[in-house]
Amino acid sequence: MSMTTTPPVLAPVDAPTSPAAGEPARTYLVKTLGCQMNVHDSEHMAGMLEQAGYVAATPEAAAAEDADVIVINTCAVRENAADKLYGNLGRLAGTKRSRPGMQIAVGGCLAQKDRSGIVERAPWVDVVFGTHNLDVLPVLLERARHNQAAEVEIEESLKVFPSTLPTRRESAYAGWVSISVGCNNTCTFCIVPHLRGKERDRRPGDVLAEVAALVDQGAVEVTLLGQNVNSYGVEFGDRGAFAKLLRAAGATPGLERLRFTSPHPAAFTDDVIAAMAETPTVMPTLHMPLQSGSDRVLRAMRRSYRSEKFLGILDRVRAQMPDAAITTDIIVGFPGETEEDFAETLRVVEASRFSSAFTFQYSPRPGTPAADLPDQLPKAVVQERYERLIALQDRIGLEEAQRQTGRTVEVLLAEGEGRKDGATRRLSGRAADNRLVHLALPEGLAEADLPRPGDIVTVEVTHAAPHHLVADSGAQGGTFAVRRTRGGDAWERGVTGDDAHGGDACGTGGGTPGGPAAPVLLGLPTLGRAPR
């Protein structure tokens, strides 16, 4: 069943129309709030818009939010999600008044949740669509233009698997591949199953075909995506499907790095650990959400594992991959959390030795069981515990990073990773274990020898910080070697426009011909602090 709020249609408007002869193509910008799944959904939105005749705003225009169509892909996981959305919409209201014909569309999880309430609160929004019907975006934009009124269309269940939609990849050398959508878990704090629906698994052949297509276009790194990747196969009855998929995807000719996110501790099995350890292209990194170290709180969260099981998983991972970097998610201040419960979280964090952690202060989400629990904690208590957890994890993160000093690492260079690279004259990228590395170039390096995004640079780590590593060995006369890759070639084609690879809206392209490639998100960020 779908919920549609539209005025009477004056004439049939079933598909977007291309610009009339001589008219410039309308430009678009997709702004993403939220998780990796949202980032990948935004790639689909961009692909559909390009297939409908829109063109991406230039980087300069995007920075100024100067586009004919601006799409905001929303998140609803945290309490401040609505504040982020309406802050963006409030700012865009003035832009729209000064730009005749501009349209604003809102999609994603918050759109699925709030529906027509978005237009009621921000009547200058033209289109609202949900997580289950990404494919309607171009049609709704055309209807809204035609009818000069807002279009709101929300589906209650998935109609089109997103991976079948056109895609404009953010990166020519690294890509996301969705293996499932939705979630069958019932965590009391989480609204995702309500907004994304029950788990739907793609067939293994379809996943492997997409991985192969990405690699054929130049990608050297692929990240498999799912709300709970290690429960993959539940829909077609194969409990070992995810381990088999890792091995098969990892064997794709030309693929150098394979990652995945995110698993669930309750369903994480030893065959997955073996597949990680025995498949050379699967990187030694794991994001394993803890949420709480207290068994009592885990029970209240309906997280079907306990702290000792969690620590046991980490022990078995490190037994087979001693250098694996493990990251996590932690919630502070869940309803009823006592000081003793919080002490258990600190104990498990100390024992886990996470390289980084995404830490959040609990916020009630309407529609979740936890929102109605008694004993909601005072803000001051939650804030104080949060600061203690941050201090502990910063210490551990620094200690773990310092252990990397002196190690030789292979860094896949990225674009847009290092915000201070211009000032420091360094380049940035990710090591095999997904740690962020800033590296210096040797003095006098010829321009022809400069590494490109997508190339791999071998350097030695010279010093460390809690959330990144620095490798100045090249500038100090030490280790520095560049391996030019197919990924770097693909990035260069996207920048120079030498072929049609960049901006391909048919499912495998990336980059923007004739201009700088878009910022690239690889794997998981390393800095895990929720906004205060």
Q: Cβ distance 166 to 47 under 8 Å? A: yes
- Name the token pair of 462: 């010279």
The residues, ordered by sequence, that sit 6+ positions from 206 with a Cβ below 8 Å of its Cβ are: 163
502/191 Cα distance (integer angstroms): 36
CA angle 292, 296, 298 (to 5 degrees): 40
CA distance 242 to 204: 9
Tens-binned pLDDT, residue by residue, of the chain (532 aa): 333 333 333 333 445 555 555 578 999 999 988 788 888 889 999 999 999 999 999 999 999 999 999 999 998 877 777 888 999 999 999 999 999 999 999 998 899 989 999 999 999 999 999 988 899 999 999 999 999 999 999 988 877 777 788 888 889 999 999 999 889 999 999 888 878 788 999 999 999 999 999 999 999 999 999 989 999 999 899 999 999 999 999 999 999 999 999 999 999 999 999 999 999 999 999 999 999 999 999 999 999 999 999 999 999 999 999 999 999 999 999 999 999 999 999 999 999 999 999 999 998 888 899 999 999 999 999 999 999 999 999 999 999 999 999 999 999 999 888 878 877 889 999 999 999 999 999 999 998 899 999 999 999 999 999 999 999 999 999 999 999 999 999 999 988 766 433 333 333 333 333 333 333 332 333 333 333 3
pLDDT value of position 19: 59
506 is in an annotated binding site: no
Which architecture does CATH list for 27-153?
A: 3-Layer(aba) Sandwich (3.40)
Which residues are paired to 257 by β-bridges?
221
pLDDT at position 202, please?
93
Residue-level pLDDT at 498: 60
Torsions phi, psi for 421 (to 5 deg) = -60, -35
**Residue spans per domain, the chain:** 27-153, 162-403, 407-496
Q: For residues 392, 396, 398 and 400, what is the CA-based torsion angle, rounded to 10 degrees?
A: -170
Among residues 61, 122, 112, the alpha carbon closest in space to that of 87 is found at 122
Q: Yes or no: is domain 162-403 CATH 3.80.30.20?
A: yes
Check if the beta carbon of residue 166 is closer than 8 Å to that of residue 481: no
| The dihedral sign for the CA sequence 30, 34, 39, 44 | negative
The strand pairing partners of 70, in sequence order, are 29, 104
The answer for residues whose C-beta is within 8 angstroms of residue 163's C-beta and 6 or more apart is 177, 178, 202, 206, 210
How is residue 90 written in tokens?
A: 């409030």
Assigned CATH for 407-496: 2.40.50
Whether 27-153 shares its CATH topology with 162-403 is answered no
- Please report which residue ranges of 52-148 form alpha helices under DSSP H: 59-63, 81-98, 109-114, 117-121, 137-147
